[in-house]
Amino acid sequence: MNRTLIKNLKEKRGEEVMVSGWIDTRRDQGKIIFLDIRDVSGKIQTVILPNHDEALEAAKDLRTEWVVKVTGKVNQRPEKNRNTDQDNGDIELEIFSLEILNSAETPVFDTGSDGKEIGDEVRLENRYLDLRRPRMQNNIRMRHKVAKLVRYILDQENFVEIETPYLTKSTPEGARDYIVPSRLYPGKFYALPQSPQQHKQLLMSAGFENYFQFARCMRDEDTRGDRQPEFTQLDLEKSFTTEEEIINLNEKIFIEIVSTLYPEKKIQQIPFPRITYKEALEKYGSDRPDIREDKNNPNLLAFVWVTDFPFFEKTNEGKWTFTHNPFSAPKLEHIENLKEKKEIENIQAAQYDIVLNGFEIGGGSMRNHKPELLSAVLEIIGHSSENIKKNFGHMLKALASGTPPHGGIAWGFDRFMMILQNESNIREVIAFPKTGEGKDLMMNAPSEVSENQLKDLNIKIKDESSG
């Protein structure tokens, strides 16, 4: 007999079926035992009657979270026992036979609650249990549905999903890199990607024109509620495009996600309002303004585009640095100033951020597709000709190969899902997140490695106590 998912039992009234799943609750009433069994699709009340001796005997030792396989008949519940507030509330499964597939130690916490009453460390240490709770199952499944819809829309728009490398080159362009030692090339290192920024531009050089991927990004920086050491971006890039076209495409995707998958939510204003960086600071005191008309309504989504960012800003040491990334293009009217490196403080980037309910959920720009413009940016932020050639020579060479004008955007996908799911931390929408200190409590990482592994990599751990 093939397994029947619990969600399909309504269609099997009067039939004998086989169901597999977890024991959700057990109620022993002496000669009768009631079991609530759940699987990936739902929950069903089952009953073992006195005439099924072997099943009763097998069920005596059952506890919560044990895994079972049962066969039985789908019956209509008596009128007085029906529960119209529950799925399958009008049926129950009369068990004929029961097989224990695996026992379970007593769970360290209740997986039936929403989990918010439990400490984060305990939840993360036992994440495989934590993920069983309905709220977490819903968060991860909705994440899948959003990603699936985005893939469908972008496929219809002729975008190609392309994976880019995890092992790449360390370049001085942003946050601190996670670095990976090379065994074959002692003393040399790979870097884990902070973003696919360079590779997606190289794909434009390669002539793909329309690229996207759900990219894993790794940054060795301090964490907070909406940030993790590794996170996911929806990353896309398009050739022969304009800022207006990129904004309109992304707006279309956001609207489609909400209307299709979150119909209970309301977008405050369509088309999304736009505000310049200068106006945002003057009116809201932030370049991530929360423009909701009613901040007490959890289903109100207030998207806003922030545009016209300054390209450069001064560091504490009085040097110039970029505000977003060095690969952005200036606004057309500022190209000459960039070339001549004058009025640097007034140069604006063709940069656009998408903000939702006070969170920056995406940022992008038109890119410098000519090597001399990228070189000018790198020189302004203090790179010598030698450093430019060493760290960015591959980009300059690619741009000089006949690279079309292009631009794109990257969404903070975890942050976007956090807001859609009405959560307060991106850990709630990531299957296996880290703690605020960057630890994986379930796998106990980071951890020590063996002396042989270190020897293979030509690495020696410095003994701090010896000075």
Per-residue confidence band for 466, with pLDDT thresholds at 50, 70 and 90: low
Q: Between β-strands 320-322 and 266-267, what pairing exists: parallel, antiparallel or unpaired?
A: unpaired
Write down the mean pLDDT value for the chain.
94
Percentage of the chain modeled with pLDDT above 70: 98
Domain ranges of the chain: 6-102, 128-429
Question: What CATH class does 6-102 carry?
Answer: mainly beta
| Structure confidence by residue, pLDDT tens digits, 439-465 | 999 999 999 999 999 999 999 998 876
| Structure confidence by residue, pLDDT tens digits, 216-231 | 999 998 766 567 999 9
Query: What's the average model confidence in pLDDT over 169-186?
Result: 87
pLDDT of residue 225: 59
pLDDT of residue 467: 54
Query: What's the average model confidence in pLDDT over 23-51?
Result: 94
Q: Which residue has the higher pLDDT, 143 or 464?
A: 143
| Structure confidence by residue, pLDDT tens digits, 53-86 | 999 999 999 999 999 999 999 999 988 888 888 8
Helical pair 385-399 and 197-205, crossing angle rounded to 10 deg:
40
Query: 71 and 58 in contact (C-beta within 8 Å)?
Result: no
Helix (H) or strand (E) holding 148: helix 134-156
Integer Cα distance of 111 and 145 in angstroms = 23
Q: 128-429 in CATH: which number?
A: 3.30.930.10
Q: Which residues, 6 or more positions from 340, have their beta carbon under 8 angstroms from its beta carbon? A: none
| Structure confidence by residue, pLDDT tens digits, 244-268 | 999 999 999 999 999 999 999 999 9
pLDDT of residue 224: 66
| Structure confidence by residue, pLDDT tens digits, 237-246 | 999 999 999 9
**Residue spans of alpha helices (H) in 1-96:** 53-59
Integer Cα distance of 365 and 307 in angstroms = 10
Per-residue confidence band for 141, with pLDDT thresholds at 50, 70 and 90: very high
Q: Report the residue count for the chain.
A: 467
Mind giving me the DSSP string for 224-284?
BTTB-SEEEEEEEEEES--HHHHHHHHHHHHHHHHHHH-TT-EES-SSPPEEEHHHHHHHH
Query: What's the average model confidence in pLDDT over 117-130?
Result: 96
Integer Cα distance of 38 and 28 in angstroms = 18
Query: What's the average model confidence in pLDDT over 123-138?
Result: 97
| Structure confidence by residue, pLDDT tens digits, 362-406 | 999 999 999 999 999 999 999 999 999 998 999 999 999 999 999
Number of H helices, E strands in the chain: 12, 19
